[in-house]
Chain A
């Protein structure tokens, strides 16, 4: 089995929002047969953690030029546009 892709999930406090988002992404990617691990962090910690990530998913604004793909979305909280975001995540992680 290939090495799991790392998804860095960022929100304001790394407690509430990113917990929901990380859990949702894990479940959905498992369904799609994509091997991932998620890490949660505060938005302010992203620049120092981005190097090890294959993808960054955030619910709050982040600095630009992180050198990694970034998806900014509230879909896992509000449900709006969830399928599109999942497709986007899947495409990035399959590369």
Chain B
């Protein structure tokens, strides 16, 4: 396996990017992105159910500092074949429960579905996700992006320069 740190831009799978995605529920978003990762060979068939089960038990909704909130569904590494990230932006929010307080209902318009392997190799990518979440302007730009190219351009701004 390549041991170089994995960048979010490298891990975002174009087929698993759903911009302006209309979904009735958080479950529909997770299923849609998980199905794309499955088709592309990044996750096992068990991944979608595992992510949904985990979301029900240990939710991943995050209230951010801006008006748009996010969620980072993920599950145990045994359901993952190769690390990958799916992204959905939603014109209408879906409901996720708050990671820190599952009684809190969070309207979410930005979803990163994380298919993760060993934590250490992904720390860079995870920090990049956190960097995005901490920047309301970037979150807002991402949610209004219309093309994959735009998404890449926005994300490139928050990637640290390669040392």
Q: Residues of A at under 8 Å CB distance from B?
A: 12-20, 23-24, 40, 43, 59-61, 72-74, 76-80
- Closest Cβ of chain A: how far from B71's Cβ, in Å? 11
Q: Which of B58, B63, B102 has the most CB of A within 10 A?
A: B58
How many angstroms between the C-alpha atoms of A59 and B58 in the bound complex?
10
How many angstroms between the C-alpha atoms of A17 and B58 in the bound complex?
12
Contact for B100 among A15, A74, A79, CB less than 8 A: A74
Further contacts, 5 of them, CB under 8 A, given A12-B54, A78-B62, A78-B64: A16-B74, A16-B126, A17-B72, A19-B122, A76-B130
Asked whether A16 lies within 8 Å of B116 as measured between CB atoms, the reply is yes
- Chain B residue numbers with a CB within 8 Å of A61 are 100-102
How many angstroms between the C-alpha atoms of A43 and B60 in the bound complex?
14
- Chain A residue numbers with a CB within 8 Å of B133 are 77-79
Asked whether B119 lies within 8 Å of A77 as measured between CB atoms, the reply is no
**Residue B67 at the A interface, CB < 8 A?**
no
Asked whether A20 lies within 8 Å of B123 as measured between CB atoms, the reply is yes
